[in-house]
Amino acid sequence: MALTTENIKMALASLRVNKLRAFLTMLSIVVGVFSIIGAMTALGILTNGISNSLSQLGSETFTVKKFPTIQMGGASWMKYLHRKTIMYDQIKFVRSFTNLPSAVSAENTLAPLTIAFKNQKSDPQFNLTGSDDYFAVNHNYTVSEGRMLTREDVEYARDVCILTTDLINRVFINGEKPLGKTVQLNNRPYEVIGIFETKGSGSGASQDNFALIPITNMLKYFTDKDLASLTMTVRAASEEQINPTIDEVIGAMRSARGVKPGADNDFEVEDNSSLNLQFQSFSDYIVYAGAGISAIALLAASIGIMNIMLVSVTERTKEIGIRKALGATRSSITAQFLTESTVLCLIGGIIGIIIGIAFGNIVAIFMHAPVYIPYLWIVIGLLVCTFVGIVFGLYPAIKAAKMDPIDALRFE
């Protein structure tokens, strides 16, 4: 232990003497470790946010849409692009000709949204959602004041809206009650008939930053009903009934869209399990990319460390000769230089870990997501740095240990 402590002290002293050289050598280690730790921190934050969103949506709920939520690679994207849009009449058909769903809602989202009330006007920072009387049930929203949309609101495309707390806090700043007031949503007047209870954040974004209007009103004033592809959200009666419900909805949707027998579905059906599989595939790409970047950076750093240690051995030939003359063994000389290379790598690795975690969590703060620390990858990063220090410091250490003390003392 005394030898190890002494070697560490000597390693740190050597780094202090050659600050610039040590910094430049550590820099590549820092970049390599930062890239993987930063990527894993961001991935962990994203994973937690998506898992939280999926749990809030409910395991008995699924969606039908034109495009998949997550798509890696462009080979199949043209197939999705050429699909027919999902129209409101098709969703009404599914609602009418299925028995198992407990709720079927049609949805579309438009961004950005500006809300105005009297002399207060927001930046275009919110979303406008069009849906129907089943929206709150399918997305676990609760109307805390006023009422939810009704079938009559949807049928007659009424100019009514339900607001979330982010919008209310932005324009109702004088303590006025929103219910019954008229607000401007992208310069169109809407009567506030309800207020959603605050829900908080999910997937790193606020879930209280939209206004809800009847889907028919949105199709009438904000989108082209023949071009806008809607999303259909369906709630099964229970988690056990979700697969039979999916099968029934697929059959009705194929009939509504005129899909021929034997042909593939021209729409996506996504539930918690399918979204998790999609996200797992997406996250694998991030892991591979981070690992690849890290491997390249660490390889360059490893060669640099070997170079630096060989230069160090040459510069300290006389010091090595004196130590050997005073009785230092080959193993102690080898341990000294191995310790130096390992300490160099570990310091670089620790700096990279700190920067990676800080960077990832600064992003998380801006996304209103919880702080995340990838403990497993921190351990892996430190082990890799130790491995690099030992393997690429071994040859210079052996070279130093094999020096003849007489020749070393004569070295100029």
**Pairing verdict, β 182-185 and 231-236:** unpaired
Looking at 254, 270, 286, the residue that finishes a domain is 270
Tens digit of each residue's pLDDT (9 = 90 or more) over 63-117? 999 988 766 555 566 777 788 899 999 999 999 999 999 999 999 999 899 999 9
Q: How far apart are CA 307 and CA 266, in angstroms?
A: 59
* Cα 368–Cα 56–Cα 185 angle in degrees, nearest 5: 65
| Most confident by average pLDDT, 219-223, 312-316, 395-399 | 219-223
| 88 and 223 both lie in a single domain | yes
| 299 and 371 both lie in a single domain | yes
| 368 and 249 both lie in a single domain | no
Look up residue 387 and give its two tokens.
């491995």
Tens digit of each residue's pLDDT (9 = 90 or more) over 330-377? 787 777 778 878 888 888 889 988 998 888 788 767 666 677 888 888
Confidence of residue 3 (pLDDT cuts 50, 70, 90): very low
Is pLDDT above 80 for 320? no
Looking at 221, 247, 270, the residue that finishes a domain is 270
| 324 and 229 both lie in a single domain | no
For 145, the domain range is 60-270
| 216 and 109 both lie in a single domain | yes
| 13 and 69 both lie in a single domain | no
- Asked whether the beta carbons of 395 and 305 are under 8 A apart, the reply is no
Listing DSSP states for 103-159 in one string gives EEEEEEEEEEE-EEETTEE--S-EEEEEE-TTHHHHHT--EEEE----HHHHHTT-S
* Range 131-146 average pLDDT: 93
Listing DSSP states for 162-214 in one string gives EE-HHHHHHH--SS---TT-EEEETTEEEEEEEEEPP--EETTEESS-EEEEE
Lowest mean pLDDT among 1-15, 317-331, 363-377: 1-15
| 259 and 125 both lie in a single domain | yes
| 123 and 235 both lie in a single domain | yes
Looking at 245, 270, 295, the residue that finishes a domain is 270
- Asked whether the beta carbons of 23 and 342 are under 8 A apart, the reply is no
| 119 and 142 both lie in a single domain | yes
| 120 and 245 both lie in a single domain | yes
